[in-house]
Amino acid sequence: MSFNNLDQLYRSVIMDHYKTPRNKGSIEDGGITVEMNNPTCGDRIHLTMQVEEGKVKDAKFDGEGCSISMASASMMTQAVKGKEVAEALKLSEIFSDMMLGKDYDDSIDLGDIEALSGVSQFPARIKCATLAWKAMEKGVQNP
């Protein structure tokens, strides 16, 4: 697959998550609630998670922002649901490394998340992509 076709595929995956977000909403009595924002561009997220016995049972988000931040939130909630907290944090570490252009553990299938890899070429947009992930980290580390 050529670079242009791959780039177009990634753009369509991002737009799909932006236009049809997964896990949009909030969990009543979710247990963990995190509000975060990116003051440089106005992105904001309200993340609710249900964590039981060390596992992310459910995760939902609400908020507003650019297509990258909202698509990333959709992808993140999909990725961490059903995972052990340690696995969710490992995914966040891999995602952060990918955003910073560092080598990362590519033995783990990132699925749709890989579509955000191109964001690393735009330093001003990295905070947009990592906002939801930082919220998840904060929530599971400080319940």
Domain count, the chain: 1
Q: How far apart are CA 41 and CA 104, in angstroms?
A: 27
Band of pLDDT at residue 18, cut at 50, 70 and 90: very high
Based on its alpha-carbon atoms, the radius of gyration of the chain, rounded to whole angstroms, reads: 14
Domain of residue 73 covers 3-141
Q: How far apart are CA 65 and CA 21, in angstroms?
A: 13
Q: What is the pLDDT of residues 46-97, one digit of tens each?
A: 999 999 999 999 999 999 999 999 999 999 999 999 999 999 999 999 999 9
Here the CATH number for the domain that contains residue 133 is: 3.90.1010.10
* DSSP reduced 3-state for 118: helix
**How many residues make up the chain in this entry?**
143
Reading the block at residue 21, the tokens are: 């977000």
